[in-house]
Amino acid sequence: MKDSKIIDVARIANVSPATVSRVLNDSPLVTKETQSKVLKAIQELNYKPNAMGKQLRSRKTMTLGVVVLDIGISYHAEIIKGIEQRANAMNYKILICDSQNEKERELEYLSLLQNRTVDGIILVAPMLSDGEIAAFAGEGYTIGVIGRRLGHLNIPCFTTDNWKIGRDVVTHLAANGHRRIAFLNGYEDALDSIERLQGFKEGLAAAGLPFLPTLVDKGEFSEDGGYAAFRRLWEKSSDFTAVFAANDEMALGVYKACSEYGIAIPDRMAVVGVDNIRITNYVSPKISSVEQPLYELGALLADKVIDQINGNLQPGQRDFMIDSRLVVKGSSQKGADSK
Protein backbone atom coordinates (compact mmCIF):
# COMPACT_ATOMS: atom_id res chain seq x y z
CA MET A 1 0.00 0.00 0.00
CA LYS A 2 1.39 3.42 -0.91
CA ASP A 3 2.32 5.85 1.83
CA SER A 4 -0.54 8.03 3.03
CA LYS A 5 -0.35 11.79 2.63
CA ILE A 6 -1.92 14.74 4.42
CA ILE A 7 -4.46 15.05 1.60
CA ASP A 8 -5.58 11.44 2.24
CA VAL A 9 -6.06 12.17 5.94
CA ALA A 10 -8.01 15.32 5.04
CA ARG A 11 -10.32 13.37 2.72
CA ILE A 12 -11.09 10.69 5.34
CA ALA A 13 -11.67 13.27 8.08
CA ASN A 14 -13.66 15.53 5.73
CA VAL A 15 -11.49 18.56 6.51
CA SER A 16 -8.93 20.61 4.58
CA PRO A 17 -5.23 19.65 4.44
CA ALA A 18 -4.55 22.90 6.28
CA THR A 19 -6.68 21.68 9.18
CA VAL A 20 -4.76 18.40 9.30
CA SER A 21 -1.53 20.40 9.51
CA ARG A 22 -2.96 22.43 12.38
CA VAL A 23 -3.76 19.26 14.29
CA LEU A 24 -0.25 17.91 13.70
CA ASN A 25 1.17 21.21 14.96
CA ASP A 26 -1.07 21.27 18.07
CA SER A 27 -2.79 24.48 16.98
CA PRO A 28 -5.24 25.88 19.56
CA LEU A 29 -7.51 26.98 16.70
CA VAL A 30 -8.77 23.44 16.07
CA THR A 31 -11.89 22.32 17.93
CA LYS A 32 -11.81 19.12 19.99
CA GLU A 33 -14.35 17.53 17.64
CA THR A 34 -12.26 18.27 14.55
CA GLN A 35 -9.09 17.15 16.28
CA SER A 36 -10.73 13.85 17.15
CA LYS A 37 -11.82 13.26 13.53
CA VAL A 38 -8.34 14.00 12.22
CA LEU A 39 -6.57 11.81 14.77
CA LYS A 40 -8.96 8.97 13.97
CA ALA A 41 -8.16 9.30 10.26
CA ILE A 42 -4.44 9.40 11.01
CA GLN A 43 -4.74 6.19 12.99
CA GLU A 44 -6.89 4.54 10.31
CA LEU A 45 -4.35 5.33 7.57
CA ASN A 46 -1.32 4.76 9.80
CA TYR A 47 -0.12 8.16 8.61
CA LYS A 48 3.34 9.27 9.78
CA PRO A 49 4.36 12.93 9.40
CA ASN A 50 7.52 13.66 7.48
CA ALA A 51 10.28 13.93 10.10
CA MET A 52 12.57 15.78 7.73
CA GLY A 53 9.86 18.36 7.14
CA LYS A 54 9.71 19.01 10.87
CA GLN A 55 13.46 19.48 11.03
CA LEU A 56 13.20 22.11 8.29
CA ARG A 57 10.74 24.25 10.23
CA SER A 58 13.37 26.66 11.46
CA ARG A 59 14.99 27.13 8.04
CA LYS A 60 14.09 29.71 5.43
CA THR A 61 13.20 28.59 1.94
CA MET A 62 13.66 32.07 0.40
CA THR A 63 10.40 31.43 -1.43
CA LEU A 64 7.02 33.20 -1.43
CA GLY A 65 3.76 31.55 -2.42
CA VAL A 66 1.35 33.66 -4.50
CA VAL A 67 -2.24 32.42 -4.55
CA VAL A 68 -4.53 33.82 -7.26
CA LEU A 69 -8.14 33.02 -8.14
CA ASP A 70 -7.58 32.53 -11.86
CA ILE A 71 -4.16 32.67 -13.51
CA GLY A 72 -5.85 33.40 -16.85
CA ILE A 73 -7.06 36.86 -15.79
CA SER A 74 -4.76 39.69 -16.92
CA TYR A 75 -5.28 41.53 -13.62
CA HIS A 76 -3.30 38.80 -11.87
CA ALA A 77 -0.47 38.78 -14.42
CA GLU A 78 0.61 42.37 -13.69
CA ILE A 79 0.40 41.85 -9.93
CA ILE A 80 2.47 38.67 -10.18
CA LYS A 81 5.03 40.51 -12.30
CA GLY A 82 5.41 43.15 -9.59
CA ILE A 83 5.73 40.54 -6.85
CA GLU A 84 8.24 38.45 -8.78
CA GLN A 85 10.54 41.27 -9.82
CA ARG A 86 10.61 42.78 -6.32
CA ALA A 87 11.10 39.36 -4.71
CA ASN A 88 13.93 38.51 -7.11
CA ALA A 89 15.66 41.77 -6.24
CA MET A 90 15.66 40.57 -2.62
CA ASN A 91 16.87 37.06 -3.54
CA TYR A 92 13.45 35.43 -3.12
CA LYS A 93 11.68 33.17 -5.59
CA ILE A 94 7.93 32.84 -5.98
CA LEU A 95 5.65 29.83 -6.31
CA ILE A 96 2.44 30.66 -8.21
CA CYS A 97 -0.69 28.82 -7.07
CA ASP A 98 -3.94 28.94 -9.08
CA SER A 99 -6.91 28.27 -6.79
CA GLN A 100 -9.30 28.08 -9.78
CA ASN A 101 -11.93 30.01 -7.81
CA GLU A 102 -12.13 27.28 -5.15
CA LYS A 103 -11.89 28.13 -1.47
CA GLU A 104 -10.68 24.66 -0.53
CA ARG A 105 -7.72 25.02 -2.90
CA GLU A 106 -6.77 28.27 -1.16
CA LEU A 107 -6.77 26.42 2.15
CA GLU A 108 -4.63 23.67 0.66
CA TYR A 109 -2.11 26.19 -0.61
CA LEU A 110 -1.93 27.81 2.82
CA SER A 111 -0.74 24.46 4.13
CA LEU A 112 2.51 25.27 2.27
CA LEU A 113 3.19 27.64 5.15
CA GLN A 114 2.59 24.98 7.77
CA ASN A 115 4.85 22.54 5.94
CA ARG A 116 7.49 25.27 5.57
CA THR A 117 7.51 24.90 1.79
CA VAL A 118 7.42 28.72 1.60
CA ASP A 119 8.34 31.50 4.04
CA GLY A 120 5.24 33.57 3.36
CA ILE A 121 2.15 33.71 1.17
CA ILE A 122 0.48 36.52 -0.76
CA LEU A 123 -3.24 36.07 -1.35
CA VAL A 124 -4.65 37.98 -4.33
CA ALA A 125 -8.39 38.73 -3.93
CA PRO A 126 -8.89 35.65 -1.71
CA MET A 127 -12.14 33.76 -1.24
CA LEU A 128 -11.23 32.86 2.36
CA SER A 129 -12.94 34.81 5.13
CA ASP A 130 -11.12 37.41 7.19
CA GLY A 131 -11.27 35.04 10.16
CA GLU A 132 -9.70 32.14 8.26
CA ILE A 133 -6.83 34.32 7.07
CA ALA A 134 -6.35 35.82 10.52
CA ALA A 135 -6.22 32.32 12.03
CA PHE A 136 -3.10 31.50 10.04
CA ALA A 137 -1.48 34.81 10.93
CA GLY A 138 -2.35 34.14 14.56
CA GLU A 139 -0.22 31.00 14.40
CA GLY A 140 2.79 33.09 13.45
CA TYR A 141 2.70 32.58 9.67
CA THR A 142 3.47 35.49 7.35
CA ILE A 143 0.60 36.41 5.03
CA GLY A 144 -0.05 39.45 2.82
CA VAL A 145 -3.29 40.25 0.99
CA ILE A 146 -4.21 42.21 -2.14
CA GLY A 147 -7.83 43.25 -2.60
CA ARG A 148 -8.94 43.04 1.03
CA ARG A 149 -8.61 45.19 4.18
CA LEU A 150 -8.42 43.08 7.32
CA GLY A 151 -7.36 45.64 9.91
CA HIS A 152 -4.97 43.03 11.35
CA LEU A 153 -1.66 44.16 12.83
CA ASN A 154 0.21 41.19 11.36
CA ILE A 155 -1.29 41.09 7.86
CA PRO A 156 -0.20 43.78 5.38
CA CYS A 157 -3.03 44.51 2.91
CA PHE A 158 -3.13 46.60 -0.27
CA THR A 159 -6.29 47.76 -2.04
CA THR A 160 -7.45 50.43 -4.46
CA ASP A 161 -10.33 52.83 -3.77
CA ASN A 162 -13.14 50.88 -5.40
CA TRP A 163 -15.80 53.40 -4.36
CA LYS A 164 -13.86 56.12 -6.22
CA ILE A 165 -13.55 53.85 -9.27
CA GLY A 166 -17.34 53.42 -9.41
CA ARG A 167 -18.05 57.10 -8.86
CA ASP A 168 -15.50 58.28 -11.43
CA VAL A 169 -16.88 56.03 -14.17
CA VAL A 170 -20.50 57.10 -13.62
CA THR A 171 -19.49 60.77 -13.41
CA HIS A 172 -17.74 60.46 -16.78
CA LEU A 173 -20.63 58.63 -18.46
CA ALA A 174 -23.26 61.01 -17.05
CA ALA A 175 -21.22 64.00 -18.25
CA ASN A 176 -21.41 62.48 -21.74
CA GLY A 177 -25.20 62.41 -21.61
CA HIS A 178 -25.88 58.83 -20.51
CA ARG A 179 -28.89 58.38 -18.24
CA ARG A 180 -29.37 54.61 -18.25
CA ILE A 181 -26.11 52.90 -17.37
CA ALA A 182 -25.71 49.15 -16.94
CA PHE A 183 -23.23 47.63 -14.50
CA LEU A 184 -21.51 44.27 -14.96
CA ASN A 185 -20.20 43.00 -11.65
CA GLY A 186 -17.58 40.36 -10.85
CA TYR A 187 -17.71 37.59 -8.24
CA GLU A 188 -20.63 38.24 -5.95
CA ASP A 189 -18.66 38.05 -2.68
CA ALA A 190 -15.47 39.76 -3.86
CA LEU A 191 -14.62 43.05 -2.15
CA ASP A 192 -13.91 44.69 -5.53
CA SER A 193 -17.40 43.71 -6.71
CA ILE A 194 -19.17 44.93 -3.59
CA GLU A 195 -17.35 48.26 -3.39
CA ARG A 196 -17.45 49.06 -7.12
CA LEU A 197 -21.20 48.47 -7.08
CA GLN A 198 -21.49 50.81 -4.10
CA GLY A 199 -19.41 53.43 -5.90
CA PHE A 200 -21.62 52.95 -8.98
CA LYS A 201 -24.70 53.66 -6.85
CA GLU A 202 -23.08 56.71 -5.27
CA GLY A 203 -22.13 58.04 -8.70
CA LEU A 204 -25.70 57.64 -9.94
CA ALA A 205 -27.06 59.46 -6.89
CA ALA A 206 -24.58 62.32 -7.32
CA ALA A 207 -25.66 62.66 -10.96
CA GLY A 208 -29.35 62.63 -10.01
CA LEU A 209 -29.93 59.26 -11.67
CA PRO A 210 -31.91 56.34 -10.22
CA PHE A 211 -30.31 52.99 -9.43
CA LEU A 212 -32.08 50.30 -11.44
CA PRO A 213 -31.38 46.71 -10.27
CA THR A 214 -32.59 45.47 -13.66
CA LEU A 215 -29.49 47.03 -15.23
CA VAL A 216 -27.07 45.07 -13.04
CA ASP A 217 -25.78 41.60 -13.90
CA LYS A 218 -22.90 39.34 -12.87
CA GLY A 219 -20.05 38.66 -15.30
CA GLU A 220 -17.64 36.92 -12.90
CA PHE A 221 -14.65 38.98 -14.05
CA SER A 222 -14.26 36.95 -17.26
CA GLU A 223 -14.69 37.71 -20.96
CA ASP A 224 -17.24 34.91 -21.39
CA GLY A 225 -19.06 36.09 -18.27
CA GLY A 226 -19.22 39.69 -19.53
CA TYR A 227 -20.48 38.49 -22.91
CA ALA A 228 -23.26 36.41 -21.33
CA ALA A 229 -24.21 39.14 -18.83
CA PHE A 230 -24.56 41.77 -21.57
CA ARG A 231 -26.71 39.45 -23.66
CA ARG A 232 -29.01 38.82 -20.70
CA LEU A 233 -29.42 42.54 -20.09
CA TRP A 234 -29.95 43.34 -23.76
CA GLU A 235 -32.55 40.63 -24.21
CA LYS A 236 -34.51 41.98 -21.23
CA SER A 237 -34.30 45.64 -22.19
CA SER A 238 -32.30 47.49 -24.83
CA ASP A 239 -32.92 50.99 -23.52
CA PHE A 240 -29.54 51.49 -21.79
CA THR A 241 -26.80 53.40 -23.60
CA ALA A 242 -23.69 52.70 -21.53
CA VAL A 243 -22.01 49.79 -19.73
CA PHE A 244 -19.63 49.97 -16.81
CA ALA A 245 -17.81 46.63 -16.63
CA ALA A 246 -16.02 46.02 -13.32
CA ASN A 247 -12.94 44.79 -15.21
CA ASP A 248 -11.56 44.86 -18.74
CA GLU A 249 -12.04 41.15 -19.32
CA MET A 250 -15.81 41.65 -19.06
CA ALA A 251 -15.60 44.79 -21.22
CA LEU A 252 -14.07 42.64 -23.97
CA GLY A 253 -17.04 40.30 -23.62
CA VAL A 254 -19.33 43.31 -24.12
CA TYR A 255 -17.45 44.15 -27.33
CA LYS A 256 -18.06 40.63 -28.62
CA ALA A 257 -21.79 40.81 -27.83
CA CYS A 258 -22.15 44.26 -29.36
CA SER A 259 -20.48 43.03 -32.54
CA GLU A 260 -22.98 40.18 -32.81
CA TYR A 261 -25.95 42.49 -32.20
CA GLY A 262 -24.65 45.18 -34.59
CA ILE A 263 -24.42 47.71 -31.75
CA ALA A 264 -21.98 50.52 -32.59
CA ILE A 265 -19.46 51.53 -29.91
CA PRO A 266 -19.51 54.30 -28.75
CA ASP A 267 -22.31 55.83 -30.87
CA ARG A 268 -24.99 53.44 -29.60
CA MET A 269 -23.24 51.96 -26.57
CA ALA A 270 -20.49 53.47 -24.42
CA VAL A 271 -18.22 50.99 -22.63
CA VAL A 272 -15.85 51.52 -19.70
CA GLY A 273 -13.77 48.85 -17.94
CA VAL A 274 -11.29 48.63 -15.07
CA ASP A 275 -7.56 47.76 -15.00
CA ASN A 276 -6.47 49.33 -18.33
CA ILE A 277 -4.80 46.11 -19.46
CA ARG A 278 -2.78 46.24 -22.66
CA ILE A 279 -5.35 44.56 -24.90
CA THR A 280 -7.74 47.50 -24.33
CA ASN A 281 -5.51 49.45 -26.74
CA TYR A 282 -5.59 46.75 -29.42
CA VAL A 283 -9.35 46.81 -30.10
CA SER A 284 -11.27 49.48 -31.99
CA PRO A 285 -12.28 51.77 -30.52
CA LYS A 286 -9.83 51.54 -27.63
CA ILE A 287 -11.53 50.83 -24.32
CA SER A 288 -11.82 53.57 -21.71
CA SER A 289 -10.66 52.05 -18.44
CA VAL A 290 -9.71 52.83 -14.86
CA GLU A 291 -5.99 52.27 -14.52
CA GLN A 292 -4.94 50.53 -11.32
CA PRO A 293 -1.24 50.38 -10.40
CA LEU A 294 -1.23 46.57 -10.43
CA TYR A 295 2.53 46.17 -10.76
CA GLU A 296 3.05 48.55 -7.85
CA LEU A 297 0.48 46.71 -5.72
CA GLY A 298 2.44 43.50 -6.15
CA ALA A 299 5.87 45.05 -5.63
CA LEU A 300 4.89 47.03 -2.54
CA LEU A 301 3.22 44.07 -0.88
CA ALA A 302 6.21 41.82 -1.63
CA ASP A 303 8.34 44.42 0.18
CA LYS A 304 6.10 44.33 3.25
CA VAL A 305 5.86 40.54 3.37
CA ILE A 306 9.62 40.01 3.05
CA ASP A 307 10.25 42.68 5.69
CA GLN A 308 7.86 40.84 8.01
CA ILE A 309 9.56 37.49 7.35
CA ASN A 310 12.87 39.05 8.34
CA GLY A 311 11.46 40.83 11.37
CA ASN A 312 11.97 44.27 9.83
CA LEU A 313 8.34 45.39 9.66
CA GLN A 314 7.64 47.79 12.49
CA PRO A 315 4.31 47.78 14.35
CA GLY A 316 1.74 50.15 12.88
CA GLN A 317 -0.49 50.52 9.86
CA ARG A 318 -1.06 47.36 7.84
CA ASP A 319 -3.87 48.48 5.47
CA PHE A 320 -2.70 50.54 2.50
CA MET A 321 -4.82 52.09 -0.28
CA ILE A 322 -3.41 52.92 -3.72
CA ASP A 323 -5.02 55.53 -5.99
CA SER A 324 -6.35 54.89 -9.51
CA ARG A 325 -7.27 57.06 -12.50
CA LEU A 326 -9.79 56.91 -15.31
CA VAL A 327 -8.15 56.80 -18.75
CA VAL A 328 -10.74 58.03 -21.27
CA LYS A 329 -10.40 56.54 -24.76
CA GLY A 330 -12.63 55.99 -27.77
CA SER A 331 -15.18 53.59 -26.30
CA SER A 332 -16.97 56.16 -24.15
CA GLN A 333 -16.99 59.36 -26.21
CA LYS A 334 -19.46 59.78 -29.05
CA GLY A 335 -17.86 60.94 -32.26
CA ALA A 336 -14.42 59.96 -30.92
CA ASP A 337 -11.84 58.05 -32.92
CA SER A 338 -10.00 55.01 -31.62
CA LYS A 339 -7.64 57.02 -29.41
Q: CA–CA separation, 172 vs 236, rounded Å? A: 25
pLDDT digits (tens, 9 = 90+) for 255-302: 999 999 999 999 999 999 999 999 999 999 999 999 999 999 999 999
Q: CA–CA separation, 142 vs 144, rounded Å? A: 7
Model pLDDT, residue 107: 87
- Residue 314 above 80 pLDDT? no
What CA–CA distance (Å, rounded) separates 75 from 79? 7
Q: Residue 118: pLDDT above 50?
A: yes
Other beta carbons less than 10 A from residue 333's beta carbon: 16
pLDDT band at 75 (very low <50, low <70, confident <90, very high): confident
Inform me whether the pLDDT recorded for 322 exceeds 80.
yes
**What gap in Å lies between CA 76 and CA 3, rounded to an integer?**
36
C-alpha closest to that of 65 among 91, 24, 98 = 98
Angle in degrees, CA 329, 335, 337, rounded to 5: 45
Task: Record the pTM.
Answer: 0.78
